[in-house]
Amino acid sequence: MVYYVNRTQVRFTSRATFCERSPPKNMFIEIVPGSSQPIFEQVTMQIKFSIAAQAIRAEEMIPSVRELSKQLAVNPNTVARAYRQLQDEGIISLRRGMGLAVTASAPGRCVVERKNFFREKFQNFLDEAARSRLSQEEIDEIIKGSRSD
C-alpha cells in the first residue's frame, strides 16, 4: 500500500554544486492523489515552477530518484518518468558520476512555460466567465478577491 503525502517539503540541497551561490530555498511539491493529472506530471510541473521561481537554480543538483520518491512517498518509477521527461525537454541533464543537475538554459525556459501555463488557465477562466454571462464588474471582483456575499 502506498500513502501519498499531501504536502511534502523537499529540500533541494546539492550533493555538489557547480557555482558558488546562496543555499537553495526550500521547495514544496504537493501531490494531489485524486487529481486528473498523473502524479509524474504533477512532479514535472512543480519542479519546472520551482526552477522558474529560483527555488532550484541552474547547475544545481537535484535529489536522486530514490531520494525524491522516498520523500514524496510515491513509486520510484513515477519519479523516474518525471525525470526522463525533464531530461527530454532539456531541463535537467545527467552529470556523470554526480547525478542530475538543472541545465543553464532551464530557468528561462521554465519562466516562459510557467507564464504560458497561467495564461492558458486565465484564458479558460475568462471563456467560462463569458459562457456564464458574468459581467465585467463581477469578473473584476473575482480577480481582486473581494466578496459580495
Q: What confidence tens digit (pLDDT) does each residue in 71-119 have? A: 999 999 999 999 999 999 999 999 999 999 999 999 999 999 999 999 9
pLDDT-derived band at 15 (thresholds 50, 70, 90) equals very low
Helix, strand, coil % (nearest 5) of the chain? Answer: 45, 10, 40
Number of structural domains (the chain) is: 2
Please indicate, yes or no, if residue 41 is contained in any of the structural domains: yes
CB 10 within 8 A of CB 71: yes
Reported in sequence order, the residue ranges of the chain that DSSP labels E, i.e. its strands, are: 8-11, 26-29, 92-95, 99-102
Please indicate, yes or no, if residue 30 is contained in any of the structural domains: yes
The CATH number of whichever domain residue 59 belongs to comes to 1.10.10.10
Domain holding 88, by residue range, is 8-106
Please indicate, yes or no, if residue 77 is contained in any of the structural domains: yes
- Are 95 and 122 contained in the same domain? no
